[in-house]
Amino acid sequence: EDKVVQSPLSLVVHEGDTVTLNCSYEVTNFRSLLWYKQEKKAPTFLFMLTSSGIEKKSGRLSSILDKKELSSILNITATQTGDSAIYLCAVTTGTASKLTFGTGTRLQVTL
């Protein structure tokens, strides 16, 4: 059975700190790993990482895929209160017609 584990479950930091969120996976025939940010409502897409695109960056957010370690990290530098959200990691495979989600990391950024 495909499995995605995120850590930590929750995190509280001060504005300006740098945070690293972790996602590890055990799946058959890995295809891609996706990061989503969920504030109050629907998850919104951040990054997709594949074998041909193992590093992505957008502003203060960046993500790396480590295919050897079967994991990914999401880095947020100079955090702001607007970064407070649940960050979800999901994995797709070459055969399954679904995303497998982790339980998410709840990030709270305080002043």
- Give contact residues for other proteins (rule: CB under 8 A): 31-32, 34, 41-45, 48, 88, 90, 92-99, 101-104
Structure tokens at 69: 């370690």
Residue 100: CB minimum distance to other proteins, A: 8
Rounded Cα–Cα distance for residues 64 and 67 (Å): 10
Residue 4: CB minimum distance to other proteins, A: 8
Pick between residue 14 and residue 52 the one whose CB is nearest to other proteins.
52
Q: Is the dihedral of CA 12, 46, 23, 41 positive or negative?
A: positive
